[in-house]
Amino acid sequence: MSSGYHETGLSEKTKEIHRALASLQEELEAVDWYNQRMDTSGDQALADILKHNRDEEIEHACMALEYLRREVPEFDENLKTYLFTSVPVTEVEEQEAEGGGEEGGNSNSASSSTGDLGIGSGK
């Protein structure tokens, strides 16, 4: 069994990050496989099972991604920049550079245009 390491003398943290990355890759591959099978199944009962399995793999992928976000500051920074934004993904960096919008280009928040917390006037 190959470890997948490209170097020797790796720290334990690097090995753990590698495990998480390998697991994320495997989970995403499983999502793709289940999605394809679900899409082509002519049997609705089977398609429902495949959808359930796909959704479980998505959950697992998200868990691995959250581990990486917590352990690798660069993942945290980039996920905060690109996820949950409403501008086109290719324009997020431009918006940040121009100083337009909130951190990460996230303009989904109710407070973005009004300056309030999005909870109403309280009257």
The stretch 25-34 carries a mean pLDDT of 98
**Predicted confidence (pLDDT) per residue in 58-68, tens digit:** 999 999 999 99
106 or 70, which is more confident = 70
114 or 98, which is more confident = 98
The pLDDT of residue 108 is 47
Question: How far is residue 93's CA from residue 87's CA, in Å, rounded to a whole number?
Answer: 10
pLDDT of 114 above 60: no
The counts of H helices and E strands in the chain are 5, 0
The pLDDT of residue 39 is 98
Confidence of residue 111 (pLDDT cuts 50, 70, 90): very low
Q: Which residues of 69-88 are buried (b: 16+ CB within 10 A; e: fewer)?
A: beebeebeeebebeeebebe
Model pTM? 0.75
